[in-house]
Amino acid sequence: MPAIATLLPLYDIEKEHVLISEKEYRKRKTRLGRKLKPFSVAVLFSAVQKTRSNDTEYPYRQNSNFYYMSGFKEDSAVLIFVKEAKNFKTYLFVAKKDKTQELWHGKRLGVDKAKELFDVDDIFEFDAFNEKFKKNVVGKHHIYYDFGLDYAKVKLLKRSTKNVLSYENIASYIETMRLIKSKSEIKLIKKAISITKKAHHKAMKRAKKSEYEYQLQADIEYVFRKNGAYSDAYTSIVACGNAANTLHYINNNKKLVQGELILIDAGCEYEYYASDITRTIPVNGGYTKAQTEVYEMVLHVQKEIIAMIKPNVFRSALQKKSEELLCQGMVSLGILNGDVKTLIKEKAHKKYYPHGIGHWMGLDVHDECPYKKLNGNEIPLKPGMVMTIEPGIYLDEEDENIPNKYRGIGIRIEDDILVTKEGCENLSSCIAKEIKEITRKSSSNL
Ligand code: GLY
Ligand code: MN
Ligand code: MN
């Protein structure tokens, strides 16, 4: 069977062979199949096409768990695992070839082509799913599904099965597998970051010539598309001045104001893999003294936390340390007053640092991998995990408790970090973040 990669390198711009091989998908399916209880069936559905308005649709994006197990990009598809006492088989259901549908919505692989490309035990048309499922579920005691909170689907599943001892959501099994990234996955994440780097650098250079936040957003997303990342990993945040103090600001419609900072949180998705980068840059090339003070403080904390990352460290330890360091930093700048320990105990720092230090990243920007084991214990860092480190300070312009000079400043600095055997690798260290580097880029003409 030819490798899936022979079909999928749609954007192999730099002629890198970075896509996930069929062998790797086989390995994933084997790992999951072995975990299933004897006499069970597991059902994984593709994502549904979502309506934007009336009869227009959002671009289709495959469900991450389904994609992780199958590598199949189309909608109207199901992957099932059918396990007997020990052995299991995998079956894929795909939309049939249909000339009218394809005229409007584009070509489908169809069963025959999918059979050439996907390493499963058999492939059928999607329409045959109900009948095949009912047949395969006879005599099975355990059903696994991944419907999230779609209770209607679970109910339907329960109605079409009999004498079943357990129904279990399989998502957490797959999401636990997704925690440790393979070499190919890391390559794809690096590729996404390399495109995002170009976009952030372009924004740094374009800021002083731009008038509105959305113009910088356009520059950033132009670079994404131009380089083969046809999607953002999340909606870009381009927040000038006080807008940076709205954590999920995505309107991006304000005028850029000379002398203010722009918080840009933007990352592309490349072949399903995310990047998630924040830089806080000046509109007109330079940081004021007050902006520099807050920026250097946040940057110092970010570097300290990254330096802590190595196997067996807990994310909660990174969180705790980031809170201590940011609190200390805010005291030294006079943003908070008092004893650091007491302030932490009273959670005073939370007002200005209200979010987490970072999250898993991979097929999803907030990769849905667990943070705790089933027994409730926290999962320690292991080589192959990828997480963001993104401390931030948000000083609202209306907060009269803050020294005047700092009001209206919002700063976050975010990088994507790979845990390695020896410690960690900052995958996005190639993106300017020292004031000197940013200022140099901002001052160049583009
Ligand atoms: N861009 C989303 C986040 O930083 O978590
Ligand atoms: Mn993030
Ligand atoms: Mn982000």
DSSP for 359-422 reads: -B-SSSSS----SB-TTSPBPPP-TT-EEEE--EEEE-TT-TTS-GGGTTEEEE-BEEEEE-SS
- State how far the alpha carbon of 228 is from the alpha carbons of 24, 273, 363, in Å: 23, 12, 17
Burial level of 269, CB count in 10 A (0-12/13-18/19+)?
Answer: buried
Residue 148: predicted pLDDT? 61
Residue 1: predicted pLDDT? 38
Instruction: Answer yes or no: 359 catalytic.
Output: yes
Q: Which residue among 355, 368, 397, 407 is the active-site one? A: 355
Residue 14: predicted pLDDT? 41
What DSSP designation does 212 have?
B
**What is the number of the ligand 1 atom nearest to the C-alpha of 267?**
1
Instruction: Answer yes or no: 12 catalytic.
Output: no
Instruction: Answer yes or no: 366 catalytic.
Output: yes
Q: Which residues line ligand 1 (CB under 6 A)?
A: 234, 265, 276, 359, 365, 390, 414
Residue 4: predicted pLDDT? 40
Q: Which residue among 25, 232, 359, 396 is the active-site one? A: 359
What DSSP designation does 187 have?
H
Residue 166: predicted pLDDT? 87
CA gyration radius for the chain? Answer: 24
Instruction: Answer yes or no: 52 catalytic.
Output: no
Q: 164: CA distance to ligand 3 center in Å?
A: 43
CA geometry: angle 67, 72, 76, nearest 5 deg? 100
Instruction: Answer yes or no: 116 catalytic.
Output: no
Q: 277: CA distance to ligand 3 center in Å?
A: 5
Q: At residue 94, what are phi and psi to the nearest 5 degrees?
A: -130, 155
Q: 151: CA distance to ligand 1 center in Å?
A: 29
d(CA 81, CA 33): 7
Residue of 99, 109, 19 whose CA lies nearest to 73: 109
Residue of 241, 335, 343, 349 whose CA lies nearest to 293: 335
Do 322 and 349 contact (CB within 8 A), yes or no?
no
Instruction: Give me the average pLDDT of each 10-residue run along the chain (446 residues).
Output: 40 51 94 97 94 94 96 95 97 95 90 92 96 91 81 73 85 96 95 97 96 98 95 98 97 97 98 97 95 98 98 98 98 97 97 98 96 94 98 98 98 98 97 97 80
The number of beta carbons lying within 10 Å of the beta carbon of residue 347 is 11
Q: 392: CA distance to ligand 3 center in Å?
A: 11
The protein residue whose alpha carbon is closest to atom 2 in ligand 1 is: 276
The protein residue whose alpha carbon is closest to atom 4 in ligand 1 is: 276
Residue 18: predicted pLDDT? 54
**What is the number of the ligand 1 atom nearest to the C-alpha of 237?**
1
Residue 12: predicted pLDDT? 39
Residues listed for the chain:
446
Domains of the chain with bracketed CATH? 4-177 (3.40.350.10), 183-443 (3.90.230.10)
Element housing 266 (H / E): strand 261-266
**What would the two tokens of residue 77 be?**
């598809």
d(CA 167, CA 146): 11
Element housing 17 (H / E): none
Residue 265: predicted pLDDT? 98
- State whether residue 289 is helix, strand or coil: helix
d(CA 5, CA 14): 15
Do 237 and 267 contact (CB within 8 A), yes or no?
no
Q: 276: CA distance to ligand 3 center in Å?
A: 5
Instruction: Answer yes or no: 394 catalytic.
Output: yes
Side chain identity, residue 270: Y
d(CA 283, CA 322): 28
- State how far the alpha carbon of 399 is from the alpha carbons of 162, 331, 349, in Å: 61, 16, 14
